[in-house]
Amino acid sequence: MAESSTPKKIFRFIKFTPTTKKTLCVICGNRIEKSDYRRKLFHGSIKSEYCILIEKYLEINITEETHADTACRKCVRELQKIDSVFTTFKSSYQNTLAKLRETHGHNSVSFKRQFSEDGSATVNSRKSLFPRDEEKEEDSEFNIDTKTDSELKVIWKLLYSTSSARDQGTLYAARNTINARNVTQDPADDFYAASDLVEKVTTAYIITGGLTHFGMESIDSLPCKNVYEGAVGNTNEMKEYIFDQARSFVKTFTLPEIPKLPEYGPNCNTYNCRYCGKKYKQPHSLRKHESSIHGHYDPLFAKEKVSSGKYNENESDGVSAYTKLVLTLGLLRMDHNDAIHMGDGSRMLKIDQFLVLYYKYCHCTKYAFGTLETIAQTEVLLTERQAHRLIWNRTVNHKGDANTNHPNDLDVEHCNKVFKDSAHSYRGVFTEKVVSRVSKSAMKVHEIIKQFDKMCNVHVPSGRHKTCDKEIDIITLVRQFQACNLFDFIPGRSHYAYPNMKENPLTELDMEIVRDWIGASLKKFQNKHFY
């Protein structure tokens, strides 16, 4: 039988004698004979300031059992110099940030830009120039980042669920079908991927709904319903036919109706009777007065209660309700983006009036409050001249062509990027004078460099995000949606992940609460010093 040896475990450690423990430096390892050149790391069982300094910069834990009790004077002095330099840098950095917040910081984004009397735009304030992660939402009541689209958050909250993988026609199932793996549960993780997915799904829904509307079996087949019977070439008739069919499609497959504010109860914050002008302190007393004295209808005091019909799951189609909600939110988002690109401020405000209710329904209070303030600014808070400027100066166009506008906040981000590039290339101490000089010259220097590169035929990589061909993914989704009969009303069916999908989710909003919220918000707006 072959001989076998038992394996041994070897532990290596340093064993100090009482003499070496007091004379060896824990950092450089040199023996220090003179006591004046040694610094003790422990006073009894308490760590000295030198021990704490060494642990801080070497990231170690010094104990009496495993380490020497001494550090040489030379090593301690070097560490003290490093600590002094870091303390100076930290103090200088904090002072610079404080000055920049005073000169370039702001607390509200109601006015990203201020406009001079001649109508020219001037950027007078920006967010912190070098913000920490925890400062990105600091000191702002309403701060919407450019890439975290508020509309996407609403869509994700209502239509995106990872449990709907087997429900053909849902947003998550479409994501798996076209293999959009970079789309996650939070649209802010990859804004452009989430935006592309919503655009593809909305386009596929529009095409599928168009095929159903015109009775077509496929994209290549001829329409069987709602066929144009006018003269080909007659521009007016063809245009009227297109508008009629588009109007019919929207009324049939979307949710254009929204709940209205109740006509009973307070109609202002002063609680005055709408008939005789009598003042009250409590809204309940006002409602009772208008109902009993003036006969104004109020369900709280009405003798005959209006019963709301019970919701019958067998008479509803959850799949059709989901389809209508997808088209409603998708078309609103496409219309809003188109209004931004065209610089149509009036259309943007009209869409905001729809979106504020969806923000309120999805409990996106920050977005709802900010959107309501923008609407109130244009209606009551600002003068007519300022309101006109706010409506039509919300976008920027640097090319002068149609459909090339982008939002003001995105333009400010571009300016901030140019300024930061100039500031980071500066090799010196930041002072208020330096920051002021760099902020004034950054854009001019940037334009000079661009013009020089253009004259020298130097190719500069474009910062524009490239878009790939979406036709294949859209056609794939259209075929899948058409096979599921998403636009046919079939009572009793529903998606597995959305068993109780309502026809219109906004009907669940308590409009009395919304009215009170609007009144309370208007009070907050009027208390701001700049209105």
How far apart CA 480 and CA 65 sit, in angstroms, is 71
Is residue 132 predicted with pLDDT exceeding 50?
no
In this predicted model, which residue has the larger pLDDT, 3 or 255? 255
The reported pLDDT for the residue numbered 105 is 54
Q: pLDDT value at position 368?
A: 93
Find the helix packing angle between 408-424 and 432-455, rounded to 10°.
100
- Domain 13-102 sits in CATH 3.40.1800.20: yes
Of 465, 335, 342, the closest CA to residue 394 belongs to: 342
Give, rounded to a whole angstrom, the gap between the first and last alpha carbons of the chain: 99
Cα 187 from Cα 497, distance rounded (Å): 19
Q: Using pLDDT thresholds of 50, 70 and 90, give the confidence band for residue 301.
A: confident
Residues 132-158 have a mean pLDDT of 56
Average pLDDT over residues 407-424: 88
Contact by Cβ (8 Å): 476, 173: no
Q: Report the pLDDT value the prediction gives residue 400, as an integer from 0 to 100.
A: 87
Long-range contacts of 421-427 (CB under 8 A, 24+ apart): 422/446, 423/129
Global confidence as pTM: 0.68
Domain residue ranges in the chain: 13-102, 147-261+312-400+469-527, 272-298
d(CA 42, CA 348): 69
DSSP at 52: H
Predicted confidence band at 396 (pLDDT cuts at 50, 70, 90)?
very high
| pLDDT at 15 (0 to 100) | 59
Judged by average pLDDT, the poorest of 139-143, 157-161, 301-305 is 139-143
Percent of the chain beyond pLDDT 70? 85
What pLDDT score does 487 carry? 92
Residue with tokens 């294949």: 472
pLDDT in tens, 167-212: 999 999 999 999 999 999 999 888 889 999 999 999 999 999 999 9
Q: Flag whether pLDDT at 456 surpasses 50.
A: yes
Q: CB within 8 A of 448, min separation 6: which ones?
A: none
pLDDT for res 14: 57
Q: What is the pLDDT of residue 306?
A: 54
Mean pLDDT of 247-275: 85
Number of neighbours of residue 52 by Cβ within 10 angstroms: 11
Banded model confidence at residue 145, pLDDT cuts 50, 70, 90: very low
User: Are the beta carbons of 374 and 352 closer than 8 angstroms?
Assistant: yes
SS (H, E, C) 282-306: CHHHHHHHHHHCCCCCCCCCCCCCC
Whether 338 has a pLDDT exceeding 80, the answer reads yes
Confidence of residue 473 (pLDDT cuts 50, 70, 90): very high
User: Count of CB atoms within 10 A of residue 347's CB?
Assistant: 15
pLDDT of res. 10: 52
- Put residue 395 in one of left, alpha, beta given phi > 0 → left and psi -120 to 50 → alpha: beta
Give the residue-averaged pLDDT of 415-425: 86
Question: H or E segment at 436?
Answer: helix 432-455
Q: What is the pLDDT of residue 303?
A: 67
Q: Extract the tokens encoding 171.
A: 């947003």
What's the alpha-carbon Rg for the chain, to the nearest Å?
34
Residue with tokens 């967010």: 127
- Chain segment 498-524, per-residue pLDDT in tens: 998 888 889 889 998 998 899 889 889
444 is written with which tokens? 């001019």
Supply the pLDDT for residue 312.
55
Q: How far apart are CA 61 and CA 163, in angstroms?
A: 48
- What is the tens place of the pLDDT at every residue in 28-39? 878 888 888 888
